[in-house]
């Protein structure tokens, strides 16, 4: 709280004085929201490209492994491309593509696979049946 000069009322940063704290918070919040929406659109497009490639390669379903803030985008892209979205372990089947979430930290064995088999094309899954959102979205 700013007490200002003698004889003036103190100004609170969140009270509605012109150009004060509320206006600043509103502007920052709006910019943050715009940036977040822009990022979600970019992520959506990237995930849709991945799902198109997964479908072209003949996978019938996708299992998202780990907690993901983008699960709703992955689920939407699966529906759009006709790929079944799975939330639990599938039966043993070669038609499943395993997508590790952006929060999933692969163990050493999987991390080596992801890095050594990664394609130069950001939307191209590796030569096997797994991919990593963490790597896909950073490119």
CATH architecture of 21-138: 3-Layer(aba) Sandwich (3.40)
Q: What is the mean pLDDT of residues 59-66?
A: 92
CA 13 to chain centre: 34
Phi, psi of 96 (to 5 degrees): -105, 130
- Residue bearing the bigger pLDDT, 8 or 43: 43
CA 105 to chain centre: 15
Reported as a pLDDT band with limits 50, 70 and 90, residue 94 is confident
Please tell me the distance from the alpha carbon of residue 112 to that of residue 92, in angstroms, as a whole number.
23
What residue ranges do the domains of the chain occupy?
21-138
Residue 13, pLDDT > 70, answer no
Which three-class secondary structure state does DSSP give residue 122?
coil
């Amino acid at each position: 709280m700013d007490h200002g000069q003698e004889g003036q009322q103190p100004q609170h940063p969140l009270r509605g004085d012109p150009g004060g704290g509320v206006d600043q918070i509103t502007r920052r919040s709006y910019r943050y929201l715009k940036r977040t929406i822009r990022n979600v659109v970019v992520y959506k497009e990237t995930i849709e490209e991945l799902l198109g490639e997964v479908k072209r390669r003949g996978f019938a379903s996708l299992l998202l492994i780990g907690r993901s803030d983008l699960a709703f985008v992955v689920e939407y892209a699966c529906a759009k491309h006709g790929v079944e979205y799975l939330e639990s372990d599938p039966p043993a089947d070669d038609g499943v593509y395993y997508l590790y979430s952006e929060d999933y930290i692969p163990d050493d064995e999987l991390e080596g696979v992801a890095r050594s088999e990664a394609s130069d094309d950001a939307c191209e899954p590796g030569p096997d049946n797994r991919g990593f959102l963490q790597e896909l979205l950073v490119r």
